[in-house]
């Protein structure tokens, strides 16, 4: 009963923004790399928004962000939460659960960066909280809207491809405590939780589910060359999918500064081979079929090709504003993030037991 009543209140608040033709007021907690990305992306989306408060414990960061974006620097997270209808939580990961809880208590729409939290249990609690309160919620698993991944899934689902049999997913980048990252918190387990699997490859496991399907069991190993306590920098995993396909994931944080975030994904279907390479968003995606033909799609052609396939537009931030303004569910949401957390959690548990196979229980 209580949650239903809260849901009704929430809808009233969202309805007010939409019905009164008011601009959605957006606030930011955290004003670093990804906050700046979202701010620019909001501008590119053309969404008609009111830029409300921003707060960062590093005041200078907040000032630079405000200067560039038109948000107003505020002295506390509470002031930001009071200033807005929807908030982006873009602080380092350890802060997400507490700040989301405060935002949900005020019935704000929430965009939370991935990972939701340092561990599965907390992520599950956060997902329950937003579901019970009925607030619009979205998570930064942005590859869900990538033209390259949408097209690859279309190619896999195509009858011509035949059954999906295997996938090889490689993801590598220089360890992100240097270069354009401009911060070192990813080397601190209290702030980041752990290393390349949770911090980076949560995107990859989300895409493995998206492309191939649910995972039945997992075996994984991790290692730590850099020596930051609890921050693994190489991880490998073998996944057995519920549909019988097998997959491997290799996730590596090295020191080759010439290699920022790079992925290469190969999917093997009975009659089709698909490769996502180059750019995570614009491809190219290459494929070859059993009749000997090969094809490639990239850039605008990819964008045009997937236009009818996605739920809503290409820009994740424009979608968040659209859903928060209308008070309708956004995607990907916290529940999607929990499924990705579940796979990462299984990988860590397996690695802790020297690669023992772990059954993945669905929530
Ligand atoms: N979706 C993606 O592809 C993607 C990419 C990069 C980062 N991220 C995620 O976004 C989050 C932030 O990463 P980033 O690269 O922007 O880091 P960053 O270091 O550039 O920015 C984080 C900011 O949060 C601030 N901060 C910390 N605690 C705070 C608090 N209590 N209140 C207000 N501000 C606080 C820090 O001062 C810092 O400026 C992380 O969870 C990260 O995993 C997601």
Same domain, 50 and 148: no
Same domain, 134 and 158: no
Q: Looking at the domain assignment, is residue 103 inside a domain?
A: yes
Same domain, 253 and 285: yes
Q: Looking at the domain assignment, is residue 325 inside a domain?
A: no
In sequence order, the 6+-apart residues with CB closer than 8 A to the CB of 50 are 23, 24, 25, 26
Question: Given this model, what pLDDT does residue 106 score?
Answer: 98
Of 123, 142, 161, the one marking the end of a domain is 142
Q: Is the CB of 184 under 6 A from ligand 1?
A: no
Q: Is the CB of 31 under 6 A from ligand 1?
A: yes
pLDDT of residue 8 exceeding 70, the answer is no
Segments forming the whole domain that contains residue 70: 2-142
Q: Looking at the domain assignment, is residue 319 inside a domain?
A: no
pLDDT band at 32 (very low <50, low <70, confident <90, very high): very high
Of 96, 116, 142, the one marking the end of a domain is 142
In sequence order, the 6+-apart residues with CB closer than 8 A to the CB of 212 are 156, 164, 167, 241, 243, 245, 247, 267
The angle, 0 to 180 degrees and rounded to 10, between the axes of the packed helices 2-19 and 120-133 is: 70
Of 79, 107, 142, the one marking the end of a domain is 142
Same domain, 194 and 78: no
Q: Looking at the domain assignment, is residue 320 inside a domain?
A: no
Same domain, 236 and 286: yes
How far apart are the CA of 185 and the centre of ligand 1, in A? 9
Do 140 and 112 form a contact (C-beta atoms < 8 A)? yes
The values of phi and psi at residue 149, to 5°, are -75, -35
Same domain, 46 and 159: no
Question: Given this model, what pLDDT does residue 6 score?
Answer: 35
The residue whose two tokens read 């992520």 is: 123
CATH of the domain at 26: 3.40.50.720
Distances (CA, A) of 344 to 34, 120, 177: 22, 8, 21
**Closest ligand 1 atom to 93 CA:** 41
The percentage of the chain sitting over the pLDDT mark of 70, rounded to a whole number, equals: 94
Q: Is the CB of 63 under 6 A from ligand 1?
A: no
Q: Is the CB of 199 under 6 A from ligand 1?
A: yes
Q: Looking at the domain assignment, is residue 323 inside a domain?
A: no
Q: To the nearest 10°, report the CA torsion of 254, 258, 261, 265.
A: -90
205-230 confidence digits (pLDDT tens): 999 999 999 999 999 999 999 999 99
CATH of the domain at 289: 3.30.360.10
Least confident of 17-31, 162-176, 238-252: 17-31
Same domain, 195 and 165: yes
Q: Looking at the domain assignment, is residue 326 inside a domain?
A: no
The sheet that has 283-289: what strands, in order across it? 294-297, 283-289, 272-279, 262-269, 164-174, 246-254, 234-241, 215-223, 358-359
Q: Looking at the domain assignment, is residue 321 inside a domain?
A: no
Q: Looking at the domain assignment, is residue 112 inside a domain?
A: yes
């Amino acid at each position: 009963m209580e949650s239903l009543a809260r849901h009704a209140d929430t809808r009233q608040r969202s309805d007010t923004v939409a019905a009164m033709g008011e601009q959605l007021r957006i606030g930011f907690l955290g004003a670093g790399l990804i906050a700046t990305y979202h701010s620019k992306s909001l501008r590119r989306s053309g969404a008609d928004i009111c830029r409300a408060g921003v707060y960062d414990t590093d005041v200078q960061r907040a000032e630079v962000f405000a200067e560039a974006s038109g948000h107003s620097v505020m002295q506390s997270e509470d002031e930001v939460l009071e200033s807005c209808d929807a908030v982006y939580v873009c602080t380092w990961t350890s802060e997400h659960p507490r700040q989301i809880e405060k935002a949900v208590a005020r019935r704000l729409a929430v965009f939370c960066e991935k990972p939701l939290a340092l561990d599965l249990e907390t992520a599950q609690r956060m997902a329950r909280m937003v579901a019970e309160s009925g607030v619009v919620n979205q998570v930064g698993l942005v590859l869900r809207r990538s033209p390259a991944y949408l097209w690859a899934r279309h190619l896999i689902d195509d009858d011509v491809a035949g059954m999906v049999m295997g996938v090889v997913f490689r993801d590598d980048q220089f360890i992100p405590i240097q270069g354009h990252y401009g911060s070192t918190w990813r080397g601190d387990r209290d702030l980041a939780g752990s290393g390349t699997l949770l911090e980076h490859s949560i995107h990859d496991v989300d895409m493995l589910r998206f492309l191939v399907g649910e995972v039945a069991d997992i075996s994984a190993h991790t290692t730590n060359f850099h020596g930051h306590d609890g921050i693994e920098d190489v991880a490998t995993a073998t996944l057995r999918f519920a549909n019988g396909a097998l997959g491997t994931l290799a996730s590596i944080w090295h020191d080759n500064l010439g290699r920022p975030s790079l992925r290469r994904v190969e999917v093997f279907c009975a009659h089709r081979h698909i490769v996502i390479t180059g750019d995570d968003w614009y491809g190219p995606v290459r494929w070859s079929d059993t009749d000997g033909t090969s094809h490639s799609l990239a850039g605008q052609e990819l964008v045009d090709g997937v236009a009818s396939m996605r739920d809503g537009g290409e820009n994740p931030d424009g979608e968040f504003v659209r859903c928060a303004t209308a008070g309708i569910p956004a995607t990907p949401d916290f529940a999607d993030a929990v499924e990705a957390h579940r796979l990462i959690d299984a990988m860590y548990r397996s690695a802790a037991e020297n690669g023992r196979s772990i059954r993945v229980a669905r929530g």
